[in-house]
Amino acid sequence: MKHLLSVTDTQDNILDILEVADKLKKDPWGYQTLKNNVLGMIFEKSSTRTRISFEVGMLQLGGHALYLSKSELQLGRGEPIEDTAKVMSRYVNGVMIRAREHSDVVKFAENATIPVINGLTNLEHPCQALADIFTIYQDKKTFNVHLAYLGDGNNVCNSLLLAASLVGMDMTVISPEGYEPDVMILEQAKEYAQTSGSKLKVANDVSEVKGADVIYTDVWVSMGDEEEVNQRLKMLSEYQVNSDVLNLANPQAMVMHCLPAIRGQEITEEVMSCGQAAIWDQAENRLHVQKAILSILLGKK
């Protein structure tokens, strides 16, 4: 694995990442494997979990992280992303980018001589999806589960499809028409599923959540979608994760949300706070999984 731009980059390493994450979670400060390493972090979009987990992760691994907003870089004044990639490759050991356009992260990686990590784009959120399947495995002790994703088939949903299909997890995406996941990513996931045995499905009816072992949702209005807020709230209103939806699932079903959550929209306060919610474990696991990614990418010298 040279970069982590998409979950597809982990097809030969995904179980290694999860194994290392488990080891690092058990002893957070015990593996100073990235001493004298510096991670440059470029943020075009605001962040809570991504920034904190990468910054703390580098510290726990013995390294250092630099926070760089686009407005503070010459990128904000029009410097080509190719030039920024070449310059940063001379200064730091790796770069994490949280960007709007997936093509920008790909272009950066093509011009960098160091590992590049996708911290979020409009197409994928691979670090989140890897932390999610790690959370599911830690709770269920198996990938032989059915994950039901309700709501907008966004970047998180795209990466979850790829991750689930790589480890053999069944997944149903339940979205209104026009809000389904990316077609090309779905086709790629289906190719992986032929090998792993995953059963993947895209549906429009909330009743498809019946018997699910995991219920997952995300915000209905992501960053960049603010102009569509009224339309999105109208179209997605029937896909709220509430007690009725939870009652359709397996009685032991776990509830997941990648945060931030808008209580009363995509998920109710009641479900968010119930004993079946694994949301805070999920958020914590961003740290452990990203440390594993950093260890594998930056520590491979």
pLDDT tens digits along 2-19: 999 999 999 999 999 999
Q: pLDDT tens-digit profile of 163-210?
A: 999 999 999 999 999 999 999 999 999 999 999 999 999 999 999 999
Is 90 among the residues known to form the active site? no
- Least confident range of 42-56, 90-104, 212-226: 212-226
Higher pLDDT, 79 or 168: 168
Q: Is 42 within 8 Å of 95 (Cβ atoms)?
A: yes
Q: Which of 258, 282, 288, 290 is catalytic?
A: 258
Q: How far apart are CA 111 and CA 124, in angstroms?
A: 20
3-state secondary structure of 255: strand
Residue 72 has pLDDT above 90, yes or no: no
Is 286 among the residues known to form the active site? yes
**What interhelical angle do 49-60 and 279-298 show, nearest 10?**
50
Among the four given CATH numbers 3.30.450.20, 3.40.50.620, 3.30.70.100, 3.40.50.1370, the one describing domain 7-125+285-298: 3.40.50.1370
Provide the pLDDT for residue 300.
67
Residue 235 has pLDDT above 60, yes or no: yes
Q: How many CB atoms lie within 10 A of CB 121?
A: 25
pTM assigned to the model: 0.96
Is 157 among the residues known to form the active site? no
Is 98 among the residues known to form the active site? yes
Provide the pLDDT for residue 223.
67
Provide the pLDDT for residue 301.
46
Among the four given CATH numbers 3.20.19.10, 3.40.50.2000, 3.60.10.10, 3.40.50.1370, the one describing domain 127-282: 3.40.50.1370
Q: Which of 60, 128, 188, 240 is catalytic?
A: 128
Q: How far apart are CA 71 and CA 223, in angstroms?
A: 17
Q: Is 241 within 8 Å of 217 (Cβ atoms)?
A: yes
Q: How many CB atoms lie within 10 A of CB 278?
A: 19
Q: What mean pLDDT comes out for the span 31-41?
A: 97
Is 258 among the residues known to form the active site? yes
Q: What mean pLDDT comes out for the span 236-240?
A: 97
Q: What mean pLDDT comes out for the span 220-240?
A: 87
Q: Which of 3, 102, 257, 286 is catalytic?
A: 286
Pick from 86, 113, 102, 139: nearest CA to 8: 102
Is 127 among the residues known to form the active site? no
Range list for CATH 3.40.50.1370 in the chain: 7-125+285-298, 127-282
Q: How far apart are CA 180 and CA 204, in angstroms?
A: 9
Residue 230 has pLDDT above 50, yes or no: yes
